[in-house]
Structure 1
Amino acid sequence: MRVVLFGYQTWGYRTLEALLTSEHEVALAVTHPASEHAYESIWSDSVAELAEANGVPVVVRNRPDEDVGQALKDADPDIIVANNWRTWIPPHIFELPRHGTLNVHDSLLPAYAGFAPVIWALINGEAEVGVTAHMMNETLDAGDIVLQRAVPVGPTDTATDLFHRTVDLIGPIVVDALAMIAAGRRELVAQDRAKASFFHKRSIEDSRIDLGRPAADLERLVRAQSDPYPNAFCYHGSTRLRIVSAAVSTGRYGGTPGRIFIKEGDGVVIVAGADARFGRNHGLLVRRVRLDDGTERPALAYFRAMGGYLTSHPTS
């Protein structure tokens, strides 16, 4: 089949890699310009550079404008494959190819449609994450499912671990889904819209630590904001602290959320949970912190004395 790619960053790059080594002909690649957004500058392998290196025509746009539409008509594709395209693709674009448009999304749809699904899923304690190939329709990430594959989430997995595991699924799922479509096998599964959820893009604000939340939630937030993502952070007085390693404490501790309380093992326990006053909660065991200048220290070295508080916003 003649294929046009709409893709961006490493997700789009891996998709194009798979297409270039498949039996299909890549007629055109459409991608976004490079971005300095805190999340879009991560995993930023260039679709444009890979396409150009392989003699594939490239159009770089933020949105599918008239030039994209004309380039698509000239390419005369059998199918579009989209992965990590960041803006809406209108029906006159996604319906133009003979077989429509196959979208590849890094979640187990219908849950976690939208943006940063692996990070949101880890924050929420999901048991597995994965990749879905589905046919595009007018509702974002809502079309009928062609193929879906999952990987488990381990108790210490970070968002970086899960990124690598899910991105490795892209090539095989794209090739297998296209083989099914080319062979006329469309055993599609409609998404159950009652089970759908849609998530917004993440920003720095979403990494802010609120010690009123349970320690287990905060520990997952720390893992979900692993390097190279913007780390989970809070404040010690006026100093911003990025929490780069943490766990849930073994002991249960009472008092006021945010209190820098006691040493435990290789870290320092911060009282956590809105109902911490009852003394039934585990705390957040902070193991390593990083300052804004990049200096990283063990929590036991940074917190030389107990007492004081970690807060969501700076204090004098």
Structure 2
Amino acid sequence: MRVVMFGYQTWGHRTLQALLDSEHDVVLVVTHPKSEHAYERIWSDSVADLAEARGVPVLIRNRPDDDQLFERLREADPDIIVANNWRTWIPPRIFALPRHGTLNIHDSLLPKYAGFSPLIWALINGESEVGVTAHMMNDELDAGDIVRQEAVTVGPADTATDLFHKTVDLIGPVTTGALGLIAAGQTEFTPQDRSEATFFHKRSAEDIRIDWNWPAGDLARLVRAQSDPYPSAFAFHRGRRIEVLAAVVSQGRYGGTPGRIFYREGEGVVIVAGADARTGRNHGLAVTRVRTEDGRELPATEYFTTMGGYLTSRP
């Protein structure tokens, strides 16, 4: 099939690589310009560079809504558009243009975790599986019929970086497998159960601010979800920002006020957590490694030389 590819960052790069290595003919690539957004500098393999190295024409767009782009797409005469990590709305006149429509590749197990940063949100929420879905595009974001879907298990110590590496390896087989079904003439696919759909926004600095009213298990997953190279979860100690690089749920239960720097336990320092911490039924968050405002990384037991005081969400 003649394929036009819309994509960006490493997700788009892996998709394009799979298409270039397949029996299909990539006739045009559309990608975004480079960005300085904190999350878009991560996993930033260039779709444009790969396409140009393989002699495929490239168009750079923030939004695919201009007449010049539409005419180039018509001239390319695609059988299908394949999209992965395209960051803005694709209008119907474009996604419906090819003979077989548009196949979108999304890094979640749709219908859950449509939208942005699905791996991070899924990890924070304690999901047991994550994955990649290939679905037909329609008027609603990430809502079309599912062509192919593959899942991987979330391990008890997995970080968002671990899950990225697990799922990015699924992109190639999910993409080419879905295209194989379409090329073979299959037209009926699995409708999404919209009653199960969830939709998430882009991550921002506010989303990595630690709220000590959260249960310790949720906070431990937040820390793992914001693992390097993602921006680290943070709080404030004596008015200065401190990043929590590693933490686990405490073995013991600790009562009192959320955010209290309370007790050394093993290799960590336990911070009281949970909105109902006053009951004494909660585990705390045992912080094991931190980074200070000046960039120093050190064990929490070295940073917190005395117990007492609080970690707060704001200075």
Q: Which moved more, 1:234-243 or 1:66-75?
A: 66-75
Paired position in structure 1 for 2:57: 57
Q: Which runs of 5+ in 1 are unaligned?
A: none
Paired position in structure 2 for 1:66: 67
CA–CA separation in structure 2 for the residues paired with 1:43 and 1:263: 36
How far has the Cα of 1:67 moved from its partner?
A: 2.0
Paired position in structure 1 for 2:14: 14
How far has the Cα of 1:187 moved from its partner?
A: 4.1
Paired position in structure 2 for 1:281: 282
TM-score under structure 1 normalisation? Answer: 0.98
For the pair 1:265 / 2:266, whether they are aligned, the reply is yes
How far has the Cα of 1:294 moved from its partner?
A: 2.0
- Kindly report the root-mean-square deviation, in angstroms, between the aligned alpha carbons of the 2 structures: 0.7
CA–CA separation in structure 1 for the residues paired with 2:109 and 2:188: 17
8 Å Cα contact 1:146-1:186 kept in structure 2: no
Task: Give a deviation string over 1:264-303, Cα, whole Å, max 9, x none.
Answer: 0001000001111111100000000012332101000000
Give SS of 2:172's match: helix
CA–CA separation in structure 2 for the residues paired with 1:24 and 1:179: 10
Give SS of 1:18's match: helix
Paired position in structure 2 for 1:230: 231
Q: Which moved more, 1:285-294 or 1:147-156?
A: 285-294
Amino acid at match of 2:280: G
Percentage of identical aligned residues = 73
CA–CA separation in structure 2 for the residues paired with 1:129 and 1:71: 36
CA–CA separation in structure 2 for the residues paired with 1:172 and 1:274: 44
CA–CA separation in structure 2 for the residues paired with 1:294 and 1:236: 15
How far has the Cα of 1:71 moved from its partner?
A: 1.3
How far has the Cα of 1:186 moved from its partner?
A: 3.1
CA–CA separation in structure 2 for the residues paired with 1:67 and 1:60: 12
Paired position in structure 1 for 2:240: 239
Amino acid at match of 1:233: F
Amino acid at match of 2:57: P
Paired position in structure 2 for 1:303: 304
8 Å Cα contact 1:118-1:163 kept in structure 2: yes
CA–CA separation in structure 2 for the residues paired with 1:105 and 1:23: 22
CA–CA separation in structure 1 for the residues paired with 2:292 and 2:57: 44
Paired position in structure 1 for 2:154: 153
TM-score under structure 2 normalisation? Answer: 0.99
CA–CA separation in structure 2 for the residues paired with 1:295 and 1:123: 26
How far has the Cα of 1:74 moved from its partner?
A: 1.2
How far has the Cα of 1:238 moved from its partner?
A: 1.5
Give SS of 2:73's match: helix
Q: Which runs of 5+ in 2 are unaligned?
A: none
Paired position in structure 2 for 1:118: 119
8 Å Cα contact 1:249-1:264 kept in structure 2: yes
Task: Give a deviation string over 1:196-226, Cα, whole Å, max 9, x none.
Answer: 0100011011000001111001000000000
CA–CA separation in structure 2 for the residues paired with 1:91 and 1:48: 24
8 Å Cα contact 1:249-1:285 kept in structure 2: yes
Paired position in structure 2 for 1:141: 142
Amino acid at match of 1:48: A
Task: Give a deviation string over 1:218-274, Cα, whole Å, max 9, x none.
Answer: 000000000000110000011111100000000000111100001000010000011
8 Å Cα contact 1:118-1:159 kept in structure 2: yes
How far has the Cα of 1:68 moved from its partner?
A: 1.5
